[in-house]
Homo-oligomer: A and B are copies of this chain.
């Protein structure tokens, strides 16, 4: 494992990585943190998410073997340009953003060639945000996507694979292109649907009375609308084409359902049967529980 790990950004994800690392009792690893707002430093230290907080990014990455960027995706470009000149020779940098193509481009462009970059995306989250919501077991059993940069050394890849394993997650190698297409379908399209469902219903003139009829189904379907708005926005900006494509595919399918309902078609029952079976197959294959 690394001797010094730097975490830049200590919200839900960065804070949870810190807490998970602390739990593994890596006695020889020092975890150094940086937070944009100084007033957050005390809370981070009180929770024990890092050993020490530095007051500049340059000081944070100093002598670090492994640097983890756990900020919103749109902040990464700026951070890369800022830390670039201060990064130790041969160190490894990874991030935790939900989209990877842009991040890999920025890393290629702004990091010195002696630095290893491995894109990362822990597929874990919850509605609450910020360091207060951080928890050591957030990544337990979750998939953690890795997209190694073209110049990343085998040792640097191993270092990040080790980090993923230490915090309890399962690594999954992928390309940035595949990653962004796939998560647009299974994660980004869903949060757009959740948000659109909330606005469709809550802006209806019936909502004042109708809201009493909303139950657990509505709660589940709208859960992703409670994700951090800035994160959702950044994802859409950095993965626009994929998100638009999946929205278009979805509208086609929804219009098919609309037609089957309008026509009282027996095909409609088959569509529901097929959807149920396909979901069941996914749950079973990936050992998920409802």
Contacts and interface: CB of A to CB of B under 8 A. Distances in A.
B197 A193 contact: yes
Interface string A266-280: 001101111110111
A210 B249 CA distance: 15
B209 A185 contact: no
B185 A271 contact: no
A221 B195 CA distance: 12
Interface in A141-160: 142-143, 145
A36 interface: no
A191 B279 CA distance: 13
Contacts of A182: 206, 209-210, 213
Interface stretch (A1-9, A76-84, A106-114, A233-241): A233-241
Nearest to A264: B237
A178 to B, nearest CB: 7
Contact of A275 (B183, B199, B286): B199
A39 interface: no
Interface string A185-221: 1110111111111111111101001111111111111
A275 B225 contact: yes
A179 interface: yes
A229 interface: yes
Tell which of A124, A200, A212 has the most Cβ of chain B within 10 Å: A200
B218 A257 contact: no
A253 interface: yes
A230 B42 CA distance: 56
A288 interface: yes
A284 to B, nearest CB: 11
Contact of A209 (B178, B187, B195, B210): B178
B220 A220 contact: yes
B192 A254 contact: yes
A203 to B, nearest CB: 8
Contacts of A204: 185, 249
B200 A186 contact: no
9 contacts: A186-B213, A189-B197, A190-B218, A191-B217, A195-B257, A200-B249, A220-B221, A229-B276, A240-B261
Closest 6 CB pairs of A and B: A229-B272, A195-B275, A202-B278, A186-B214, A233-B269, A182-B210
Given A125-B216, A186-B210, A248-B258, 10 more contacts: A143-B215, A172-B213, A181-B210, A187-B214, A195-B272, A196-B250, A229-B273, A230-B269, A240-B261, A247-B258
